[in-house]
Amino acid sequence: MRMVYKILIITIPIIFYIVYKISTPNSELNKMTNEEIKTYFIKHNRELKYLVGICDKYPQIKFVDTTDIDILLDYYNKKLSNDTREKIKQMQSMIKKLKIYSMSCGSGIGNDDNQLAGVDFTLYSSGLSLGGEAESISFETKAFRDLFKHKKRIKVDGIKVYPLNEEGWSIVVSQSK
């Protein structure tokens, strides 16, 4: 009987989360041109870099969006310090103010699971994961870029990358059908 309760306790929030994500608009920002994204990047450069700094300092933070349910779902089994939880709330507040749909912090370079590899800021998203489109600003650390400097990047159908005017930063436009 206890096992049933444990399954329900884990499953019910996930179901509510999925229903919430499907039933709400995917972005506060409208689809933008690359020039509009460049202007957005220039305007919010300092804030984006600050958020990258938090990802670098707190490698246990992997994904943040503007809903409190993410803390429950994404970090359910992790024991986070109060300081880390406060940083997540601060990040949520900032991305809401910046009208960023979500952000993900990627870490793990070589043998160091805690070294920041990059951060992706989703500005626009439409459709389900099986078909739709998204626009984001992406940052890759120098250490991550150095891993691939002698390798040719794989081109993926439906994903276009446009460099921004600052090293490591780019616009990523994804479309899937």
16 within domain boundaries: no
pLDDT band at 169 (very low <50, low <70, confident <90, very high): very high
5 within domain boundaries: no
d(C-alpha 132, C-alpha 149), whole Å: 31
Region 99-114 average pLDDT = 83
77 within domain boundaries: yes
Class of residue 118 by CB neighbours under 10 A (exposed 0-12, middle 13-18, buried 19+): buried
The total number of structural domains that make up the chain: 1
Tell me the residue range of the domain where 100 lies: 26-176
125 within domain boundaries: yes
10 within domain boundaries: no
17 within domain boundaries: no
73 within domain boundaries: yes
* pLDDT at residue number 75: 54
pLDDT band at 72 (very low <50, low <70, confident <90, very high): low
pLDDT in tens, 8-61: 345 445 544 444 444 444 555 678 899 999 999 999 999 999 999 999 999 888
Q: Which residues contact 24 (CB under 8 A, 6 or more apart)?
A: none
pLDDT in tens, 139-165: 999 988 888 776 666 667 778 889 998
pLDDT in tens, 83-105: 888 898 899 999 999 999 889 99
* pLDDT at residue number 137: 94
4 within domain boundaries: no
> Could you give phi then psi for residue 60, rounded to 5 degrees?
-75, -15
Of 2-11, 58-67, 161-170, the range with the highest mean pLDDT is 161-170
